[in-house]
Structure 1
Amino acid sequence: MEKSNRIQLLQKPKLFLTLGIVLFLFLFAGKFILKDALPYFGFDKITFGRYWDYKWPLIGHISGGLLALIIGPFQFSKAFRNKFMTTHRWLGRIYLIAILIGTISSTYLAWTSAYRVNFSWAFGLQCLAFAWFASALMAYVSVMRGRIMQHKEWMIRSYVVTFAFVTFRWLNELTILKNLMPEFVERGPTVIWFCWTIPLLITEIVLGWNKK
């Protein structure tokens, strides 16, 4: 009985930490959706700015990203998964399709509007798009082969990359980075790499640590 109580006491801080992180990410993503993503669906030329000529690929990119961003948390919920397994599987398919649409749109934008900025920005965007789809595809392939643990790990990696678009917007608007790199031609390519490679590195450390 005492051992059981000790385990529960040890689990409580971890639970509170997890809930705190989830709440923070929810608010962080919510701000991005309301401030940076949804305004584009008003199809206002001023909002699109230099992207007006590429509005439909941009809408495809944003739509795919928003769908993946919203679906992700449901896929990680054990309670939701156990109660609605069929829904979980369908949401997984929609998640993959959303990322495929977002990736195709990102690839088009990379070698049109982004290439007009410079090659580094276009290449960085393309690599992020590749990592986005590849991680989601690996999650799908893993579950199709019945490798559930690998599937969970790849889903975590996939959502970390999905969240990179939120992180990019936040980092790109930081005053300190604007002061260090006033020109977007330098700041953009730097931030586009940082926003997913560093979070993925941290994810790999955490996943590896939990296996010990």
Structure 2
Amino acid sequence: MVDIRPSQSVFRLYQRVVWGFCLVTVTLTAIIVTKILIGHGFLNRNEPLPTELIPGNHRFNNFVLGVHILSAIPPLVIGPWSFVRRLLRTALHRWLGWIYVGMIFISSVTGFALAAANTYGIFARLGFGTLAIVWFSTTYMALITARRRRYREHRDWMIRSYMITLAVVTVRVLPAPEHLTRAEWYPLMTWLCWVPNIILAEIYVRATTFRGRLKARFARGA
């Protein structure tokens, strides 16, 4: 039987390629989303959204949605740099970490409020509501483990947290099936934009060491 397990050197190259691709993707996403929000004029629009926190008060609903999205952008861009080994013991890493955590707390809380008022039904509310809770919880655990200097656990929780943060990207790139209407697709999308992410995060956490190397049972020639 052919051994298809990668070597450590191949896996390290794979990590660098993924990191670079992630950095480019999240930067482009942040620019595009910010441009859309500014062009949309979310503070002044008087149109209904799929979330009615205050029914009929479209300006307020747009404002909360804008805060939710804009506060998600800094963590999206900061995330890849949080895993750069040369920065881990620097003040920059700590300051970026505080910004990352603070913005996610704002975005997850506003996201939960928006989810509770979503007009696409209970399945959509649960999808985005659970996303907000998991995002807040994984980030909170990343903060607590860092404060307690439990850095191995901190690394694992940060991976989980950032993979949830990437829902900002996946929610935009998920292809909507042609045979489904928006009303049928939207509730499914509220789960598909983040559940695969957290599964991949858990697989990566369990397959790698604190320093990001493949564990012996997953690597060839380890």
Q: How many angstroms does 1:50 deviate by?
A: 3.4
Cα distance in structure 2, aligned partners of 1:63 and 1:55: 12
Aligned residue-pair number:
194
Label 1:97 to 1:56 Cα distance change in 2 as closer, same or farther (>3 A): same
Distance 1:208 1:30, change over 3 A: same
Q: Structure 1 pair 119/48, CA: closer, same or farther in 2 (3 Å)?
A: farther
TM-score, normalised to structure 2, is 0.78
Structure 2: tracts of 5 or more residues without a match: 1-6, 50-57, 210-214, 216-222
One-letter code aligned to 1:179 = E
Partner letter of residue 207 of structure 1? V
Residues 47/180 of structure 1: CA separation in 2 closer, same or farther (3 Å cut): farther
Contact 2:177 / 2:185 at 8 angstroms: preserved in 1?
Answer: yes
Identity of aligned residues (%): 27
- Residue in structure 2 matched with residue 146 of structure 1 by the alignment: 149
1:23 aligns with 2:20: yes
The structure 1 residue matched to 2:122, chosen from 100, 119, 137, is: 119
Q: Which residue of 2 aligns with 1:134?
A: 137
Q: Note the alpha carbon deviations across 1:63-84, whole angstroms, 9 max, x for none.
A: 22101111112211111223xx
Name structure 1 gaps, 5 residues minimum: 1-9
Structure 1 distance, partners of 2:32, 2:94, is 31
Query: Per-residue CA shift, 1:68-114, capped at 9, x if unaligned?
Result: 111112211111223xx2221122112111011101211221123x2
Residue by residue, what CA displacement relative to the aligned partner does 1:19-43 show, whole Å, maximum 9, x if unpaired? Answer: 2212222232233223334321245
1:138-177 equivalences under 5 Å are 138-171=141-174, 174=175, 177=176
Q: Which moved more, 1:158-167 or 1:23-32?
A: 23-32
CA distance change for structure 1 residues 167 and 138 in 2, over 3 Å: closer, same or farther? same
Call closer, same or farther: CA 1:167–1:47 in 2, change over 3 Å: farther
Give the TM-score normalised by the residue count of structure 1: 0.81
Does the Cα contact within 8 Å between 1:40 and 1:47 map onto a contact in 2?
no
Structure having the higher helix fraction is: 1
Instruction: Give the letter aligned to residue 195 of structure 1.
Output: C
Alignment of 1:95-110 (within 5 A): 95-110=100-115
The 2-side partners of 1:103 and 1:109 are apart by 10
